[in-house]
Amino acid sequence: MCDQLRYDYLGCTGHPTLKTPNIDAMAKRGVRFSNAYVQSPICGPSRMSFYTGRYMRSHGSHWNGWPLRVGEPTLGDHLNKIGVRNVLVGKTHMTPDLGGLKMLGIAPDSIIGVHAAECGFEPYERDDGLHPTGRPRPKYDAYLRERGYDASNPWEHWANSGADDDGALQNGWLLVHADKAARVMTAICASGDLRLIIPGSTGPIQAPMTTAACRTAGYWCTPTRPRAFRRSIPRRPT
């Protein structure tokens, strides 16, 4: 389940540039609901509606951080009944109903408590996408450091921040900077080729790479204008 994805930002919906082969394959095997609407513009309540098949006013989660009422049957619960192992990887924004668990005498860290707190899914690598300083650190921090993106909080410094035209850091927590790309990779267009730079280092610049070679290495680095800076994020399976 993607977060804040425009309906037409997929290959299967006809986007002329974006490539989403794995999602396209799922769409080909399944059903595309082209006239459907989410039940909330906020991701948490919208997810709870997906999980339960119910409106917000019914399942009780009206905002991010609002718990789904304990006892609400979810997609995970239904699949568990037929022997399907449901594993949670990534974002869910599920908040446990601690009050409801306490009223029923269920410990939040018990098997039943964890099951209820994760919408019937088995948490494998939960990552709700926001990692401010002072919170438990995600494995993504180590992933960034291994690739040269070091900082006290690599996620916030590199992945959640952009840069202005002069290279000054622009904090991604501020919506005014929402138009700026993450600083995970920078490509400089030089004579039609692309030179890759590891942000935060003073060099050396790696050898020039053609667009084709850059894509082969796992990066989309299509320059938009001569000698322009263009930031690109390492490509992962969609």
Mean pLDDT computed over 32-52 = 88
- Say which residue, 93 or 33, is predicted with more confidence: 33
pLDDT at 25: 95
129-183 pLDDT tens trace: 778 888 888 888 998 898 888 899 998 888 888 888 888 889 888 888 888 888 8
48-92 pLDDT tens trace: 999 999 999 899 898 888 899 888 999 999 999 999 998 888 888
pLDDT at 236: 41
pLDDT at 73: 92
Confidence band for 237, pLDDT divided at 50, 70 and 90: very low
Helices (H) and strands (E) in the chain — how many of each? Answer: 9, 7
CB distance 166 to 180 below 8 Å: no
pLDDT greater than 50 at residue 29:
yes
Q: Both tokens of residue 52?
A: 């339960």
Sign of CA dihedral 109, 110, 111, 113: negative
Query: In this prediction, what percent of the chain has a pLDDT beyond 70?
Result: 77
Q: Which helix (H) or strand (E) holds 68?
A: none
- In the predicted model, what is the mean pLDDT of the chain? 77
Bridge partners, 126 (sequence order): 90
Provide the 3-class DSSP secondary structure of residue 52: helix
pLDDT at 192: 44
